[in-house]
Amino acid sequence: MENLHCLTIENKRKISATFVKEVVAFSDKEIKVRLTDGAILQAFGDNLKITAFDENSGNFIAIGNIVSVKYGASGKSLLKKVFK
């Protein structure tokens, strides 16, 4: 069964996600995480801080002034997916 993840943004001050595999990069301006399905989630803003991340459960929480969020596929091209 495929893992269905959940993404929640509360009042542009808190972002939480499930099925997070790893934190790829972070600063006070940007946080980038990889989900278990390979998708990338990026949050942009000011004073961003990771307040919780459990590798075992995949639960992730960050706070700060969230300006925008980018959510997308793993970055693999369609040709790479077709010709595994």
- Residue 2 falls inside a structural domain: no
pLDDT of the residue at 84: 47
- Reported pTM: 0.81
Q: Report pLDDT for 77.
A: 46
Residue 48, domain member (yes or no): yes
| Predicted local distance difference test score (pLDDT) of residue 79 | 44
Report the pLDDT value the prediction gives residue 74, as an integer from 0 to 100.
60
Rg (CA), the chain: 13
Backbone angles phi and psi of 81, in degrees to 5:
-70, -40
What's the average pLDDT block by block, 10 residues per block, for the chain (84 residues)? 81 96 96 93 96 96 96 59 47
Domain count, the chain: 1
Predicted local distance difference test score (pLDDT) of residue 75: 53
CATH number, domain containing residue 75? 2.60.40.2000
pLDDT at 5: 83
Place of tokens 């069964």: 1
**What sign does the CA torsion over 53, 59, 63, 66 have?**
positive
Instruction: Evaluate whether residue 1 is within a structural domain.
Output: no
Q: Which domain holds residue 42?
A: 7-82
Q: What is residue 71's predicted lDDT score, i.e. its pLDDT?
A: 87
